[in-house]
Copies of this chain bind each other. A is one copy, B any other.
């Protein structure tokens, strides 16, 4: 077999990086659970027609075919595709299990998703996301929109990553404002404004004229709205100063005020109302979120979401929801790429038990057993080579301690191979310093 090569867009981490990823996932999960979100996983596949309900994403779907299935199966009604996010499968899960679930239903879901799009830095074909959503039957109180930033704020703050800023907007503010100035196609206007960062205000003004039929004054007003940004409720004054009024605008301002003020009470500086945030996807109807790492704004949003009222409905019931998704692979891929994350060793092992000679391996096994039974990750040396070689085995992996079984009734000894200090020890009692027990991430 010739040496295999990586497949573009399908990242694989080293064991050390995977340990960092697990640490990150454990922290995220712990925070989600502290807020009472229950876990689910959905299958990786959905019926293709369900995945294609949103035309936008159809080009990105991976379709599955069993190698020996007849061709019918691959394109017929029962065709399956890999999910491209966790929201669409979650919506389906809610409908499928509506009779068994308690509403409002708070769930988290940490899983891979797949998109066939062109890979770029931090943008993969296979990637891991960590989502929370709250859905209710028929109505969903707006206070849940204010809860999302608290949860991801706490989750992201628990990670060894730069501090974040969550940018929040509300579709109702934009739509109400656009209607208030007389635009009749607010979605077209939203799509145009969404391109602000990419193409700049002049081009957005042109686009507003072309696609949303905006006059020069209307385009100017849209751009003025998009420029508003404030870390607290003062954004509302800035909006009102533009002199536009519409009932939907008032509703949006009230909801957005609750989000930024709840966040400010919880952790000042976490959220800003940023009225240029639009999110491309059609299904958002209220609050929308994006998240930047401070100092790494060039990476774009690492955590996004929003409120959706019309994603899930069946049998006369609708299930409005709000959710937010941490792009774990994206986040880690970018930080690994920037050399920003490291770990103190590449194995979980804290102690290597040396083997005096192969006949004495059972004695080393016993020592390892005693250490493990007290929670100390331990390996037994691969061979009864000279101790120098056994120590090098530990050194190469960053294992901090080597344990020498006592021979002929002598006491065992344990050596910190970093300092060279060697002391008598008993496997039933010795405990490493807390900082050495598990690999440390920095």
Q: Give me the interface of A with B, judged by CB distance under 8 Å.
A: 1-7, 10-16, 18-19, 21-22, 33-45, 47-48, 50, 58-69, 74, 80-82, 92-93, 95-98, 100, 102, 104, 106-107, 112, 114, 116, 126, 136, 141, 143, 147, 150, 154, 262, 265-266, 312-315, 346-349, 358, 361-362, 365-366, 369, 372, 375-380, 382-383, 396-397, 399
Contact = CB atoms under 8 A, between A and B. Distances in A.
Given A65-B62, A104-B382, A116-B69, A7 B37 contact: no
Contacts of A42: 12
A239 B102 CA distance: 60
24 contacts: A3-B98, A4-B47, A7-B80, A12-B43, A13-B40, A14-B40, A14-B97, A18-B41, A34-B372, A35-B378, A36-B399, A37-B348, A43-B126, A44-B44, A64-B64, A64-B82, A68-B116, A106-B379, A143-B361, A262-B362, A262-B365, A265-B365, A265-B366, A266-B365
Contact of A141 (B38, B68, B349, B382): B382
B15 A348 contact: no
Interface of A is mostly: mixed
Given A92-B4, A97-B14, A265-B365, A378 B63 contact: no
Given A4-B47, A35-B372, A38-B346, 16 more contacts: A1-B314, A7-B43, A10-B45, A12-B42, A14-B40, A15-B40, A34-B348, A36-B348, A36-B377, A36-B378, A38-B348, A60-B66, A65-B74, A102-B397, A147-B380, A266-B365
